[in-house]
Chains A and B, each alone.
Chain A
Amino acid sequence: MNLNAGQILLGAFLVNNILLMRFIGLCPFFGVSNAVGTATGMSGAVIFVMLLATWVTWVLFHVVLVPLGLVFLRTAVFILVIAALVQFVEMFLRKNMRALYSALGIYLPLITTNCAILGVTFLNIDYGFNLLNATIFSVGTGLGFTLVIVLFAAIRERLADAPISRSFKGYPIAFVAASLVSLAFLGFAGLFGIAF
């Protein structure tokens, strides 16, 4: 595919937003989007790990798995790499970067089972991106995740005080709000001719 960097970035950021259009990474989306503070913390951790995971898995896949004819181990290798990566990042931050650790630390264990990370690493391979494009794609995706989750946290902070009928309290109204936000994102369809 002949996509330029801007198209990949905007496509991942807005047009095919990972949460609202692709439906990947929804568990943390509804789990931590209660407050703006936790939402930004989670997003920071996601961007950080997503970028690392993209580099490690891309290199592993193209340098190790493909030449050895072991592509069928992709799923197993990727998820283990991400799990290990999260452990290392947590250890490294705790030892060397206390400030960052106290900001992101509690979200890191949740990230292993965050399908946004694994989803991005799979999509990088499926789209046949080179390492540069994969990096751009994962940054765009991470920013898109951040934008939506923070926007949504603000909406949910308001919803908490709104008079909502009892059976719609909590999850249902969050889904309805998500429906409206994603309706807005549908407006980005085909923006600048971006289509991937």
Chain B
Amino acid sequence: MNKKPSRLSYFTSGIVVENPVLILMIGLCPTLATTVSARDGFGMGLAASFVLIASNVVVSLVRRFVPNSIRIPIFIIIISTFVTIIDYVLQAYQPSLYKVLGVFVPLIVVNCIILGRAEAFAYHHGVWDSFLDGLGKALGFTLALGVMGIIRELLSAGTVFGFAVTPAGFRESPVLFMIFAPGAFLLIGILKSIVNRLTAKKEEKA
């Protein structure tokens, strides 16, 4: 409720209170499509994080020179530049991860979180604040994808990051359902209902 939110809150708000995925419900496509395993979920999260943080910083750097009427095309060019960079870097140095993420790497460019933060935050704030904002939102996004990935991998393969953590019997006949599309929808539905319940409790207390 302060007039001017503290710098730290730019960073922390993205992680829990304004978590892009679980609270704001944006960026759903990669959240569901690329969280087959913990590695894929975190990998996708980090790739999008790079784009989000870098575009936030650059948009903030150039914001004084960008005419208001063409700011959106310029944001899009900046974002797609970073998307292409991460696209080629992943292809070159993480080919197996790239193979799994596939078309969702270039599709980072239409991730609503990134253009949304450029427009709503970075265009009006300093470089340092924009960096913190990007970092916080990126962390929230990555954590949400990572959690999805960990749960789906645990249930569908009995492993986490490829390490066996369940008895051999479970790993032989795991809950294969969780690897498929319906499993992804079901999991995010359950996670969202838990979030709803927690926020409702908080509001009752307040």
Task: Identify the A interface with B (CB < 8 A).
Answer: 20-27, 30, 72-76, 79-80, 83, 113-115, 118-119, 122-123, 126, 166-176, 178-180, 182-183, 185-186
CB distance from B36 to the nearest CB of A (A): 11
B99 proximity list for chain A (CB < 8 A): none
Q: Is the interface of A mostly helix, strand, loop or mixed?
A: helix
A76 proximity list for chain B (CB < 8 A): 76-77, 80-81, 84
B107 proximity list for chain A (CB < 8 A): 24, 115, 118-119, 122
- Whole-angstrom CA separation of A75 from B104 in the bound complex: 12
CB distance from B23 to the nearest CB of A (A): 10
Q: Does B133 contact A (CB under 8 A)?
A: no
- Tell me if A126 and B103 are in contact (CB < 8 A): yes
- Tell me if A80 and B73 are in contact (CB < 8 A): yes
Given known contacts A80-B73, A113-B112, A113-B115, A182 and B185 CB-to-CB distance under 8 angstroms: yes
- Tell me if B84 and A115 are in contact (CB < 8 A): no
- Tell me if B73 and A83 are in contact (CB < 8 A): yes
List the count of A-B residue pairs having beta carbons below 8 Å apart. Answer: 120
Q: Does B194 contact A (CB under 8 A)?
A: yes
- Whole-angstrom CA separation of A115 from B188 in the bound complex: 20
B87 proximity list for chain A (CB < 8 A): 75
- Whole-angstrom CA separation of A119 from B107 in the bound complex: 7
Q: Does B25 contact A (CB under 8 A)?
A: yes
* Complex partner residue of A167 from B76, B185, B200, CB under 8 angstroms: B200
Given known contacts A25-B29, A175-B186, A175-B188, A168 and B193 CB-to-CB distance under 8 angstroms: yes
- Whole-angstrom CA separation of A115 from B83 in the bound complex: 14
Q: A172-B193, A174-B189 are in contact. List 17 more A-B contacts (CB 8 A).
A: A23-B28, A23-B181, A24-B107, A75-B83, A76-B77, A80-B76, A83-B73, A113-B110, A113-B115, A166-B197, A166-B200, A167-B197, A168-B189, A169-B196, A172-B196, A176-B186, A182-B180
* Complex partner residue of A119 from B28, B76, B103, B188, CB under 8 angstroms: B103
- Tell me if B192 and A20 are in contact (CB < 8 A): no
